[in-house]
């Protein structure tokens, strides 16, 4: 299960090559050591802010500092100026669609649904390919009982995710499949909770050696039954986020059941 965090830095994108000379060069231990040292230097430089790989990404992460592991309510309790930071980012960069998405999440958590809706729509207006904004407004409509609009945006976000995958994600999945195939190991691709498995299947069209885990129907049923916050700790992915223990249990069960069925025939 990967893709959301594929920015091309933690797992650098590498175009495949058939050049025997380049492949031979890359096989040398000296090359591998030099490459690892360079990546380590970049990571340390970024920590000290000497190196800034993407101003767009960094500015968004400042505003979304609570998302990786801090609950929204904890962020407010600790007085992290999330909303103010996002508003400042928008002031400095009015075309930052990610900042508008983050601001919409803040408003939604506060119960300011009209403002949240406006922020999500603004994010979509600025970037029609912002699937996080589509997913977030979908959840908003579900939470406020607007089933018709929720269904409409569910179709839109599924269509968008089906049409577009980040090249680095596609490359990483295919590279992983290639590595495992050489070792006689089957690849199990797990789709994110709440999301259609179709975009993931599209990466491996006509490849019968890949096992797919669909987490859409089961998670949507659980959210409908218990509420979004019972399953997710945040809204990191728009219509999904980092799981609570209850969400993790459901995720693990889904994966285990698919492996038991597809590999062991149980």
pLDDT digits (tens, 9 = 90+) for 96-130: 888 898 888 888 888 889 999 999 999 999 988 88
User: Are 150 and 188 within one domain?
Assistant: no
With residues binned 3-state (H G I as helix, E B as strand, rest as coil), the percentages for the chain, rounded to 5, are 60, 5, 35
- pLDDT surpasses 50 at 182: yes
Q: Does residue 253 share a domain with residue 172?
A: yes
**CATH number of residue 245's parent domain:** 3.40.50
Report the chain's mean pLDDT, rounded to a whole number.
78
- The three-state DSSP-derived secondary structure of 66-95 is CCCCCCHHHHHHCCCCHHHHHHHHHHHCCC
Same domain, 153 and 91: yes
Domain boundary among 105, 128, 163: 163
Query: Are 197 and 257 found together in one domain?
Result: yes
Cβ distance 197 to 219 under 8 Å? Answer: no
Query: Has residue 207 been placed in a domain?
Result: yes
Task: Kindly state whether residues 65 and 128 are assigned to the same domain.
Answer: yes
How far are the Cα atoms of 122, 123, 154 from residue 126, in angstroms, in the given order?
A: 6, 5, 19
Residues 61 and 149 in one domain: yes
Decide which of 163, 190, 217 is a domain's last residue: 163
- Choice between 228 and 44, residue whose per-residue pLDDT is larger: 228
Range(s) of the domain holding residue 145: 56-163
142 and 188, same structural domain?
Answer: no
Q: In terms of domains, do 198 and 231 share one? A: yes
145 within a domain of the structure (yes/no): yes
Could you tell me if residue 244 is inside a domain? Answer: yes
- Whether the model clears a pTM of 0.95, i.e. scores above it, the answer is no
Pairing of strands 187-190, 210-213: parallel
Confidence at 189, pLDDT banded by 50, 70, 90: very high
Domains contained in the chain, number: 2
pLDDT (0 to 100) of residue 62: 37
């Amino acid at each position: 299960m990967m893709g959301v965090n594929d920015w091309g830095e933690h797992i650098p994108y590498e175009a495949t090559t058939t050049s025997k000379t380049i492949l031979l060069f890359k096989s040398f231990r000296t090359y591998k050591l030099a490459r690892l040292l360079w990546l380590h230097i970049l990571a340390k430089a970024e920590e000290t802010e000497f190196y800034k790989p993407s101003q767009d990404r960094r500015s968004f992460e400042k505003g979304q500092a609570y998302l990786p592991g801090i609950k929204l309510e904890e962020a407010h309790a600790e007085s992290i100026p999330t909303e103010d930071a996002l508003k400042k980012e928008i002031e400095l960069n009015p075309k930052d669609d990610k900042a508008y998405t983050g601001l919409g999440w803040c408003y939604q958590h506060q119960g300011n649904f009209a403002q949240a809706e406006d922020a999500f729509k603004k994010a979509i207006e600025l970037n029609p390919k912002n699937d996080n904004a589509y997913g977030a407004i979908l959840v908003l409509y579900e939470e406020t009982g607007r089933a018709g609009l929720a269904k409409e945006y569910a179709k839109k976000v599924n269509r968008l995710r089906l049409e577009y995958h980040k090249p680095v994600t596609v490359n990483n999945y295919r590279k992983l499949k290639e590595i495992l195939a050489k070792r006689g190991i089957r690849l199990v691709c797990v789709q994110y909770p709440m999301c259609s498995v179709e975009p993931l299947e599209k990466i491996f069209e006509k490849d019968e050696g890949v096992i797919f885990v669909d987490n859409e129907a089961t998670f949507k049923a659980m959210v409908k039954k218990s509420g979004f916050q019972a399953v997710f700790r945040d809204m990191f992915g728009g219509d999904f986020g980092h799981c609570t223990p209850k969400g993790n249990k459901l995720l693990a069960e889904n994966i285990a059941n698919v492996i038991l069925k597809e590999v062991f025939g149980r």
